[in-house]
Structure 1
C-alpha cells in the first residue's frame, strides 16, 4: 500500500524518515509475545524474517531494530499505563 493511502487511514502522522520503521512495526503487530502477566514484547525472530523478506539492506538493520524498540517501548507503556 502506498504511504499516502495508508496515511489517510492513520490517526497519527508518520514522518517520511520513519516510514520504513513504521511499516515493519505494523507488519509485526500480530507478533507480540505474552505470558501470564500479559504482553511482554515483540518476537524479534520474526523481525529478522521481515527484514529478509523485504530485502532491506543489512546496513539498515541496526537502525530499524532500534526504531522498532522505541515503538515497542511506547506501545508497552501505553498498554500498562498506570492511569487506566
Structure 2
C-alpha cells in the first residue's frame, strides 16, 4: 500500500472539539484489542498523551466526553469493517 492508495478526505473539526480530536489522533496506537477485535482506548495512556500535547490535566474533564464520542464511532466503523 502506498499513499496513492489512500483516498484523501477533508474533515472539518469545530474549534471547541479540536483538543479532543488531537488527543484522539495521538491515541491511535493505544487501542485495547482482544480476540474479538478492538474494545476501546487504553484510558491509562490518556494523561501521558494529553501532557505531550500540552493539554492540562484539569482540561481532560471537559475533553473526555468528546473523546468518548470519537472512540464509540471508531469502534462502530471498525466493527463494520470486520463484517
Q: Identify the residue that residue 50 of structure 2 maps to in structure 1.
A: 51
* Structure 1 unmatched ranges of 5 or more: 1-8
4+ residue runs over 3 A deviation: none
* Structure 2 unmatched ranges of 5 or more: 1-7
- TM-score computed with the length of structure 2 as normaliser: 0.77
Contact 2:32–2:41 (Cα < 8 Å) also in 1: yes
Q: Identify the residue that residue 16 of structure 1 maps to in structure 2.
A: 15
Contact 2:47–2:57 (Cα < 8 Å) also in 1: no
Equivalent residue pairs, number: 75
Higher relative contact order (CA 8 A, sep 6+): 2
User: C-alpha deviations, 1:35-73, integer Å up to 9, x for none?
Assistant: 001111111111111123334233311111111111000
- TM-score computed with the length of structure 1 as normaliser: 0.76
Q: Identify the residue that residue 61 of structure 1 maps to in structure 2.
A: 60
